[in-house]
Amino acid sequence: MKIQWFPGHMAKAKREVEEKLKLVDLVMELVDARVPFSSQNPMLQQATQNKPKLVVLMKNDLADNSETTKWLSYFRKRNERAIAVDVNNKNDIQKIIQQVKEIGQEKMEKLHRKGILQRPIRAMIVGIPNVGKSTLINRLVNKKIAKIGDRPGITKHQTWIKVKKDFELLDTPGILWPKFEDQKVAMRLAAIGTIKDQLLSLQDIAAFVIQYMKEHYPQNLYNRYHVADDMDDMWEIFNTIGKQRGALESGGHVNMDKVAEIILRDLRSGKLDRITLESTTN
């Protein structure tokens, strides 16, 4: 399945990010802790490569702890600061603020030596759609200031936001890149809801998730759906899940589209337990 996605507002957002970079001291790049590599936009990587960066692994509460530890090590070996957070954890929010202050302090000291008056640290927040930017911003300012939704494309414009007296944050829309060369990357992003479901074959995406779980999280699969290790036929697996979860249509037949929706909804809500869909070795 070929997935290509590049609406006009995303092309415009990319240009605006590049234009505004000179105004900020550092970049906060948000990725999804369940797919840390696949959720890094290579276009943003290239555009922000000369700026100090903090990589924030979002939705850490949904990801496999052991894999998250490996991913944090992966980024740090690349000389990138990285932190994994649950935006509903106040301590994690404070850790982000502290990291931003530490990274921005060097720039502030340079300005001070030049005789420039002290000003707040300026950070740009970037990432792909549906990675949790709006939720994080609301937690940082401790009030509802950014729109939140469970679908991509909520934020449309860049906005400056003051985070207490600590720093100023430039919010930007979620940006995807024009074409996914690696279709596994596309599948992972589709699975977590980065790409609108209406554009995809949900059965293909759900089958990808089931196959990955069979290989890496067979116990999770059994616990939720009673899918045994020796069950290899995807049609049989879908039928098993459909009958168990009541995804039936007239005549008692299983509605395969409904089964796919159930699987993806369970993944995205954490009902399949903590799962990471890629490792540092693949």
Q: What is the pLDDT of residues 33-46, one digit of tens each?
A: 999 999 998 888 88
pLDDT at 66: 97
Query: Residue 125: helix, strand or coil by DSSP?
Result: strand
> pLDDT, tens digit, for every residue of 57-67?
999 999 999 99
C-alpha–C-alpha distance, residues 163 and 136, integer Å: 11
Give the C-alpha separation, 96 to 60, whole Å: 14
The dihedral region occupied by 246, where left means phi > 0, alpha psi between -120 and 50, and beta the remainder, is: left
Q: How confident is the model at residue 195 (pLDDT cuts 50, 70, 90)?
A: confident
Residue pair 100/167 in contact (Cβ under 8 Å)? The answer is: yes
Mean pLDDT calculated for residue range 250-254: 89
CA distances from 177 to 43, 210, 228 (A): 7, 26, 38
CA 155 – CA 149 distance, rounded (Å): 9
3-class DSSP assignment, residue 230: coil
CA distance 236 to 272: 19
How far apart CA 19 and CA 270 sit, in angstroms, is: 38
CA atoms within 13 A on the CB side of 279: 9
Contacts of 243 (CB under 8 A, 6+ apart): 254
pTM above 0.85, yes or no: yes
* CA 187 to centroid of chain Cα atoms: 14
Comparing CA positions, the residue from 76, 91, 97, 64 lying closest to residue 220 is 64
**Closest C-alpha to 80, from 99, 58, 106:** 99
For residue 28, pLDDT beyond 80: yes
Secondary-structure breakdown of the chain: helix, strand, coil percentages, each rounded to the nearest 5? 45, 15, 40
151 has pLDDT over 60: no
User: Which one, of 260, 35, 18, lies nearest residue 128 by Cα?
Assistant: 35
Give the homologous superfamily in CATH for domain 8-171.
P-loop containing nucleotide triphosphate hydrolases (3.40.50.300)
Beta strand ranges found along the chain (DSSP E): 26-32, 53-58, 81-84, 121-127, 159-163, 167-171
Q: Is residue 147 over pLDDT 70?
A: no
Return the pLDDT at 9: 57
Closest by CA position to 120, among listed 160, 161, 166, 54: 166
Band the pLDDT of 250: cuts 50, 70, 90.
Answer: confident
Q: What would the two tokens of residue 89 be?
A: 């954890």
Taking 90 as the threshold, does the pLDDT of residue 96 lie above it? yes
Task: Say if residues 130 and 83 touch (Cβ distance below 8 Å).
Answer: no
Identify the DSSP state of 254. B
Q: If you classify domain 201-269 with CATH, what class do you get? A: mainly alpha
- Asked whether residue 188 carries a pLDDT value surpassing 90, the answer given is yes
> E strand or H helix at 108, and its extent?
helix 90-113
Q: Kindly list the domain boundaries of the chain, sorted by start residue.
A: 8-171, 201-269
In the chain, what percentage of residues exceed pLDDT 90? Answer: 56
Task: Quote the CA–CA distance of 159 and 170 in Å, as a whole number.
Answer: 5
152 in Cβ contact with 49 (< 8 Å): no
